[in-house]
A and B are shown apart, each in its own frame.
Chain A
């Protein structure tokens, strides 16, 4: 069956980075003045050329795209002919509005996947329109690429697209993350978790025959993880459990009938919610009340951070109070395929050192099932 792919390039993505700006959002003019050149069209072409020559030979794909540098130029330069232009910008200088309008068209056309080239800002603009209705895959080209929707590089993205078209990959959760601009303007650097989109991921396989495997859905894995966490909580009846953000932990909380938040930090005691969307101050207050606490975290974003991206509420003070030994990391195996290293940016040198000294951490990937995973910290 033919795959229907929506393709969009944010031509100005990445321009800020070359001239030392933290993104191109709202500072394009300044970036151009500083000598920035468009980067995204080149990256997109690179990826498409690789895709056509090394992988699918572009068979069985119907491309929907935007006119000019927003898509059709790159496709044509890569030798892809069967394209349909579904959006054209009115202005020579494209903006976030153009990305959003084009995505509305992709939604109407019911494409199977949106392939985009840009950075975190572009991913956010797309997510704002398509939410989790259509899976997205990013060709990395921005300044900030914390979102989980990106391939590691152009060649990995080409391979992922090839596997997706050949139905070897499945659809799973990816985090949409970006710099919190409000805080940034106040001088604070905070990568926020904006939402959970659908992306393409490697399915989890279990051996059922001799050389025959069945792929297990992410939900089945999350059910197992839920059972594991319930066991854990029941065994430690006097512990407060801090639930980190993200799709996996949210799934577990919902299965436990805990009314938590997807993107925030919540606290659970004896399987009941005792703090919802709590900030550092409230967490510390809860830690005063409850003697023992553990925190459940899941890797977030393209780099697999468990701390320091999307959960700054879990400040060094909070983590020190809870203790590094009381961190439970959980992950679906498919997520670990994408980010085989767990990253930590604890926001405090001594704490980062503590993580660095661990070198490895046990990550729970199923019911009573864990694996050893390497830790990487920012400073060590």
Chain B
């Protein structure tokens, strides 16, 4: 029988649907605003990464409009051929200054940064040492290498040192990779200690600060500033897609790193560059962060209040130190049910279930937004309390 080349598409999708593992896309009918309309329902948004609500900031919107009018809708090419505009260069210059590094490079997305750069940083005979809870894009970047890989327990510096010690004798280059802010638990990698260990063993350090960029450190300058070690992390990778409110990935570090990265990252070399509107909005985001400290302040005020209230209700919020606050409920089925009920009550927050997290640590992951008002938080908290009691969680 002649084979059907497309049969697997429907079969495999069908399997996912059967196991309820398919993504049921929720459709936003508004912008990503603190109050959004999702699938026709007005909800308090607690699962967007738009931490500072900058995607709705007038200065970013205006910058995007102005740049479109002046330079057009698209960039016309990949960066290495004819797609590098003065605007792109300006963003990179300003970003490096903002982050206190020698240089920086903008990638099309955060994923493109990890998937493009990591495979170039280690080869056969080298080793990548990685936190066990690192994000999927790091894992994919690492999978593309021919290098050996070692895993240490989450944020465990004793284990990291053991891995370094073991690697020291056996490998050429050593690369330590970690998330900055871990997206499931909202805890922060001890980057100061990692940098110290890295320098002791001559290992390169690489942090994915996607959830820390614009959030932690003075004025949201990221994990380097948070620990007072600006310019000491070899690769500070981040994103414009979350707190910065636009889109795009970034790396910040030495000029050598940037020269190396843009010559060798295939994702960067082979994807079209950001449209002028995107680059201009990125630039405006940095402007806003530098001149309007209230957004970061609001974010943290909201975070601290929300976390404190959840805890006082008796919810387990884990080890979170950031605007990502998990509400740990136990079994996966309870997390799913709570999320559904919350949505019904006008609160949008996604469940995170096994095997993303341990079997008995399923949770609702809430992400705070600087644009939420106190009454919005009280509204969400009231729903959490009501449903938490209903489901016997508190």
Chain A residues with a Cβ under 8 A of chain B: 163, 168, 205, 207, 209-213, 359-360, 362, 368-372
The docked-state distance in angstroms from the alpha carbon of A38 to that of B87 is: 81
Q: Mark B351-368, 1 if CB is under 8 A from A, else 0.
A: 011011001000000000
Chain B interface bracket (under 10, 10 to 19, 20 to 34, 35 or more): 20 to 34
> A368-B147, A370-B148 provided; 12 other pairs, C-beta below 8 A?
A205-B355, A210-B23, A360-B158, A369-B148, A370-B149, A371-B150, A371-B151, A372-B151, A372-B152, A372-B153, A372-B159, A372-B162
Does B7 count as interface, using CB distance less than 8 angstroms? no
Would you list the 4 A-B pairs with minimal beta carbon distance, nearest first?
A360-B162, A371-B151, A372-B159, A205-B355
- CB of B162 within 8 A of CB of A213, answer no
Could you say which of A168, A205, A207, A211 has the most chain B C-beta atoms within 10 Å of its C-beta?
A: A211
Does B10 count as interface, using CB distance less than 8 angstroms? no
Question: CB-nearest residue of chain A relative to B146?
Answer: A368
Count of A-B contacts with CB under 8 A? 49
Report A-chain residues with C-beta under 8 Å of the C-beta of B153: 372
A-B contacts, 28 of them at CB < 8 A, read A168-B359, A205-B355, A209-B21, A209-B23, A210-B23, A211-B353, A212-B16, A213-B355, A213-B356, A359-B158, A359-B162, A360-B159, A362-B162, A362-B163, A362-B166, A368-B149, A369-B148, A369-B151, A370-B148, A370-B149, A370-B150, A371-B132, A371-B151, A371-B152, A372-B150, A372-B151, A372-B153, A372-B163
Report B-chain residues with C-beta under 8 Å of the C-beta of A360: 158-159, 162
Which one of A207, A209, A359, A370 contacts B151 once the chains associate, using CB atoms below 8 Å?
A370
Does B136 count as interface, using CB distance less than 8 angstroms? yes
- CB of A211 within 8 A of CB of B356, answer yes
The docked-state distance in angstroms from the alpha carbon of A29 to that of B216 is: 70
Query: Whole-angstrom distance from the CB of B14 to the nearest CB of chain A?
Result: 15
Which one of B148, B356, B359 contacts A368 once the chains associate, using CB atoms below 8 Å?
B148
Could you say which of A168, A213, A371 has the most chain B C-beta atoms within 10 Å of its C-beta?
A: A371
The docked-state distance in angstroms from the alpha carbon of A100 to that of B331 is: 38
Report B-chain residues with C-beta under 8 Å of the C-beta of A212: 16, 21
Question: CB-nearest residue of chain A relative to B156?
Answer: A372
Which one of A168, A210, A362, A370 contacts B136 once the chains associate, using CB atoms below 8 Å?
A210
The docked-state distance in angstroms from the alpha carbon of A131 to that of B71 is: 74
The docked-state distance in angstroms from the alpha carbon of A207 to that of B142 is: 13
Does B139 count as interface, using CB distance less than 8 angstroms? yes
Query: Whole-angstrom distance from the CB of B361 to the nearest CB of chain A?
Result: 14
